[in-house]
Structure 1
Amino acid sequence: MHKSTLDYAKLQDELDELSNYRNQFHIPKNKNGNELIYMTGNSLGLQPKQTKAYINQELEDWANLGVDGHTEAKNPWLPYHEFLTKSMANVVGAKPIEVVTMNTLTANLHFMMVSFYKPTKKRYKIIIESDAFPSDKYAVESQLRHHGFDDKEGLILWKPRKNETLLRYEDLETILKKQGNEVALVMIGGVNYYTGQYFDLKRITKLGHNHDCIVGFDCAHGAGNVALNLHDSGADFAVWCTYKYLNSGPGSLSGCFVHERHAYNKDLNRFTGWWSHNKQTRFNMRHEFDVLPGAEGWQLSNPPILSMAAIKASLDIFNEVGIKKLTDKSKKLTGYFEFLLNQLGEDTIKIITPKNPEARGCQLSIQVLNADKTLHDKLTEAGIISDWREPDVIRCAPTPLYNSFEDVYRMVDKLKEILNSIDLV
């Protein structure tokens, strides 16, 4: 049974086998040099201390070798993306042939839809969740327009029921039963950015495939946060960013998954570039295009090495810890966070994230009765770095690699202090 005391929180940190990994990250500090309580790994992950050395290695090799760094660098640039593949595949539960690191998130989503959104006059509609992350909605709407369809009539929104926040699979099933023969693509966020609901990817994929729909996921809030098991899900494709839970730095590259059943299908329509061409003849410039098998076959350009170096710095930590240990700690940490919030009283705090630990990651989305953004501002002033989403949600993500049980305790203790000092009536 949890206890709402600082001593209990400190004891949990002493018992935590991953607690030392916090020391491998730069924790932001206030003007007085005191560490802030950072709860926004769901927006931008913290920088691993080894990132600078990884990037400096490439800068030194560039300075000393010039173009020869492509083959002679300590980590040769020519195959650099391959150094990330196995670790990234482990993070998202995929086979190496199914994963590549390239481009940025929404760009990859569009590249996947070029190949997998194949509308006809009768089957052209796209299903997304009603409160999907805006860029997902914008992307699928633009794909509908690009193919000559009305972006409102062609978009089907999977909505929560009246007076509910979370989505029900039965309602998605009903949509597919009624309109499945008109749906070309089911494209869902693997973990909803607003509520923190972690969807059953395998169940959604099965529902979509039962109606001959292509199924894809945006796992931006899932990669590095939950055990995605993308291969076992059976999804056709998935994309994710690396700057949230994967700690690769602002605007860094994206990950891409294409299920192995598509690996050798050269007939799939795709946009191409020379980095998706056969490696053996890539530099013999006059060969006809010969696409690489697997996810690598969706690459276009040679990769930005400095960004990949930052990703490698983080993935090396993930590779050392393993997603199983991370998710085990995450459930304990977020479970303690939930316990402490519930002590504040259901008449004050409402957690809209699922109660079931298997249906969420580390993020809890909190509504405070009658509160507005002023509450979030006061938390920020008190050294709590959280995230405000309109109209009334504070998102907090105690990230297992660098957040502690003490962080969680102090965050809720400060929230309690602020609530006692302001009038929310």
Structure 2
Amino acid sequence: MVLHLSNFHLEGGAGVAATRLHRALLKSGTESRLLVSGLSAEEPGVCGLSSTALQSKLAWARFVGERLYFYPQERDASVRFAFSPAEIGADITNNPWVQEADIIHLHWINFGFLSLDSLDKLFALGKPIVWTLHDMWTFTGGCHYSRGCENFLTHCHYCPYLAKPDAYDISFAQFERKRSIYKKSRMALVSPSQWLDSLVKKAALTGAKKSLSIPNCIDTELFRPFDKLAIRRKLNLPESKKLILFAGANIGDPRKGFTFFRQALEKKGLPTSDIEILVLGKANPEVMASFPVPVHYLGKISDPNAMVEAYNAADMIVVPSLEDNLPNTIMEAMSCGTPALGFATGGIPEMIDHQDNGYIALQASAQSLSEGIEWILNPENNAELPGKARSKVLQTYSERVVADQYQQLYHTLLANE
């Protein structure tokens, strides 16, 4: 039995990716279970640690305690959730599912779910460990994305996320703690993108560990093309405009690149009279009111069917992330036949084949982003884009394709045991 561990169930990109893999493995005949901090909804094979009111309070206390531990050390509020000290977490070693598991499969385990001590106790059980990385935290001294810092290649210290970085700051201490824990493990590290896997292989903490790249998966029967005009009528959206979708968990996060998207729409050459914007996620109403083109704010959508409708309503999706792994939004949009535009960062160029099924813009260039919007919306270019976008997903990210790769990894680890 494979036991997946994820803080989140149906929330956040990492939680959604973990749940999708669990479901794909069940469909392929693998005995799979998923243990999360708290259930988003009842689901077969999924259990939450917080099933009672007291347990929910304890989970919240762990999250708050983790944040309070970092609060006096953070550089400023902008990095508050970008660094995880992993000082506080649950001890799950005696959980029945953990005891019964043949393989422990870690996903995103921060924010009070598992601490470094929790990991130490899990690894001490001697079970094979698979760890799917959804950001850089596994091989850094605490940051989820390094923002250009390369200390993780040698040894983390003088961390730029801290108010008072020094040679023996908490990034140094966490780095040392991880090194000690990892020595005890039989662990395979899986990166959804080749970009992240290349960093795993270079990082001082993980370079000697078995590592490979296996992408996240998606249910291509759920995320599929529908009649665009019918969807727009249902959502009361303009039928004749070019609709561009921007989807971000929080558009106020600088890493999501929303500023570059706005600047791109202000560049000369775009037929802005024909363009309107769909915004999916948290947004500041004042920012939307001053946008250069009309905006339709869809809000935060968690229902998958509603998300499918949003993707199908759009002519394209723009994902101008400055750092990212393998964004679910790009995969979901392309599976619905909606071409994507993104910067040449992280795993995005692995998903979008430039001027074949979408467009890759120069990193942090609003001008290049504007050119990409114009190229995708050009009728001479976009006739075959929807079909090619969906074909890429079917061939690379479908449940069967990804489940097969993980099953092969599990078999290898168990055989070596």
Q: Same fold (TM over 0.5)?
A: no
TM-score, length-scaled by structure 1 = 0.29
